[in-house]
């Protein structure tokens, strides 16, 4: 019964692998197409860009949260997989650069910056102390400084451990960083979601929107973790390190946070629907009108009903093929849900997909993955000197 596992796998991502270059090529293609799109249809470009930006940002932010959570709780099971979210989170500073185009497109994206809208709308006037360009800029600078710092430090401390730093001291630092980090994360992510997405409809507000954004992101985080791990496994990397018991744990969490997502998303809808206050219900009315309604039902089925039923049994949560399939579906639907949040503002009654949606998605997700694999190559794929590595390896 006592299997003692040791790190027998090669911990270096193969240097000859060109996967990061391949993703960068996809990114360049996407960015070039997006640039053409910007000239052809500037407004559509900004809406598509915000959709894709939210998609990549939410994934990176969920990774940051997961890393901090592991340190705060002193989790052991996840150590062998932790370098994956650490690496994603370390690249958050790039999101700050990717956010700059949105600042230039505010005129298109946010009605509360348009003079004629402000003049004609008392509700928007009332919200001006918060919704104004300088304050928006200051807030976003704060968000990105906080996230970039946390992501970078947590990664750097972890890599320093690999290189035989003072393990106990570095581990203490990780905890000291993560505890206030989680608090800051809660506020910054909630307000970022209000600023980026909720404020597009300047009349609408939902106090749950921050949690909703987080619930979406954290569900899809587990899907991303599973997919990256499966990619490594398929290429004979870390097969004896990230084993079935680890997938089983992540599968359970994926299931749990699928329910959490549904609970939050439905609660947000339900309270607004039940209370029936016009400026709150309108947001959902657009999304239940015309063919937008189909997308609403697809999101409900794909992000909750189908994965819930498929993952219900104990065996399913350790079935790699099933976990992989569900993860792909969830990642696709995560993008679709951002599309569903952002684009009805532009095309209120008829759902239409523009090629720019795909161009910006290719550009930004190609960049996200290209940067991820570039960094993943540079350090060991497992925090090999983490104080809990042995417990994590022995997981059964």
Partner 1 sequence: MSTTNKKLHCILAEFENPAVLIKAAEKTNKAGYKKYDAYSPFPIHGMDDAMGLKESKLGWIVLFHALIGFSGGLALQIYTQVIAYPLNISGKPLLNLPNFVPVTFELTILLAAFGTFFGMFFLNNLPKFYNPLFNSERFEKVTDDGFFIGIEAEDGLFSEEKTAKFLEDAGAVYIEKVYED
Residues that bind partner 1 in the complex, under the rule CB under 8 A: 1-2, 266, 269-270, 273-274, 276, 312-314, 396
Q: Which residues are registered as beta bridge partners of 380? A: 12
**Which CB sits closer to partner 1, 150 or 262?**
262
Residue 332 C-beta: closest distance to partner 1, Å = 25
Query: How far is CA 130 from each of CA 65, 112, 175, 195, 227, rounded to the nearest angstrom?
Result: 26, 10, 34, 10, 39
Question: From the CB of 320, what's the least distance to partner 1, in Å?
Answer: 20
Q: Shortest gap between Cβ of 211 and partner 1 (angstroms)? A: 18
Angle at 77 between CA 71 and CA 83, to 5 degrees: 60
Residue closer to partner 1 by CB (options 164, 276) is 276
CB of 322 to partner 1, least distance (A): 17
Q: Which residues are CB-contacts of 171 (< 8 A; sequence separation ≥ 6)? A: 161, 386, 387
Q: Quote the CA–CA distance of 218 and 183 in Å, as a whole number.
A: 16
Q: How far is the CB of 342 from partner 1 (least distance, A)?
A: 24
Q: What CA–CA distance (Å, rounded) separates 92 from 70?
A: 18
Query: Mapping DSSP to helix (H, G, I), strand (E, B) and coil, where does residue 291 land?
Result: coil
Structural contact between residues 222 and 248, judged by C-beta atoms closer than 8 angstroms: no
Phi then psi for residue 380, to 5 deg, are -65, 155
CB of 283 to partner 1, least distance (A): 15
Complex with partner 1: residue 334 or 395, whichever CB lies closer: 395
Select from 126, 84, 165, 101 the least CA-distant residue to 373.
84
Residue 194's contacts (CB-CB under 8 Å, 6 or more residues apart) are 209, 210
d(CA 393, CA 225): 17
User: In the bound complex, what is the minimum distance in angstroms from residue 394's beta carbon to partner 1?
Assistant: 11
Of residues 231 and 270, the one with the C-beta less far from partner 1: 270
- Cβ closer to partner 1: 71 or 287? 287
Distances 217 to 5, 187, 210, 246 between C-alpha atoms, Å:
33, 15, 11, 21
Minimum Å distance from CB 1 to partner 1?
Answer: 5
Compare residues 104 and 266 and give the one whose CB is closer to partner 1. Answer: 266
Closest to partner 1 by CB, 39 or 274: 274
In sequence order, the 6+-apart residues with CB closer than 8 A to the CB of 104 are none
Nearer to partner 1, 164 or 274 (CB): 274
Decide whether 13 or 269 has the Cβ nearer to partner 1: 269
Q: How far is the CB of 195 from partner 1 (least distance, A)?
A: 29
For residues 161 and 384, what is the distance between their CA atoms, to the nearest angstrom?
8
Q: CA quadruple 69, 73, 76, 77: dihedral positive or negative?
A: negative
Contacts of 261 (CB under 8 A, 6+ apart): 215, 216, 218, 219, 303, 304
């Amino acid at each position: 019964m006592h299997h003692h596992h040791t790190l027998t796998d090669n911990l270096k991502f193969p240097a000859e692998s060109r996967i990061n270059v391949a993703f960068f090529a996809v990114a360049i293609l996407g960015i070039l197409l997006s640039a053409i799109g910007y000239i052809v249809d500037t407004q559509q470009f900004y809406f598509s860009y915000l959709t894709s930006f939210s998609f990549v940002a939410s994934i990176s932010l969920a990774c940051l949260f997961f890393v901090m959570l592991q340190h705060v709780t002193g989790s052991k099971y996840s150590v062998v997989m932790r370098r994956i979210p650490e690496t994603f989170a370390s690249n958050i500073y790039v999101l700050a650069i990717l956010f700059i185009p949105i600042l230039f497109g505010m005129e298109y994206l946010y009605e509360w910056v348009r003079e004629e809208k402000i003049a004609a709308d008392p509700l928007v006037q009332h919200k001006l102390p918060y919704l104004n360009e300088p304050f928006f800029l200051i807030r976003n600078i704060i968000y990105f400084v906080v996230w970039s710092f946390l992501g970078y430090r947590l990664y750097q401390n972890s890599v320093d451990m690999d290189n035989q730093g003072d393990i106990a001291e570095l581990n203490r630092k990780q905890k000291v960083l993560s505890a206030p980090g989680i608090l800051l994360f809660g506020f910054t992510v909630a307000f970022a979601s209000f600023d980026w997405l909720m404020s597009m409809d300047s009349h609408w507000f939902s106090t749950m929107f921050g949690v909703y954004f987080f619930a979406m992101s954290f569900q899809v985080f587990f899907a991303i973790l599973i997919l990256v791990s499966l990619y490594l496994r398929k290429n004979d990397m870390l097969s004896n390190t990230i084993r079935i018991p680890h997938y089983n744990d992540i599968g359970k969490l994926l299931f749990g946070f699928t329910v959490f997502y549904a609970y939050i998303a439905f609660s947000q809808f339900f309270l607004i629907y039940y209370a029936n206050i016009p400026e709150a219900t309108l947001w959902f009315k657009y999304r239940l009108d015309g063919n937008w309604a189909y997308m609403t039902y697809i999101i409900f089925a794909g992000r909750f009903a189908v994965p819930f039923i498929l993952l219900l049994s104990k065996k399913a949560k350790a079935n790699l093929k099933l976990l992989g399939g569900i993860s792909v579906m969830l990642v696709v639907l995560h993008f679709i849900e951002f599309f569903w949040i952002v684009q009805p503002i532009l095309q209120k009654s008829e759902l239409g997909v523009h090629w720019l949606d795909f161009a910006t998605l290719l550009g930004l997700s190609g960049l996200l993955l290209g940067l991820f694999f570039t960094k993943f190559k540079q350090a060991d794929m497992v925090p090999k000197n983490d104080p809990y590595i042995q417990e994590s390896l022995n997981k059964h």
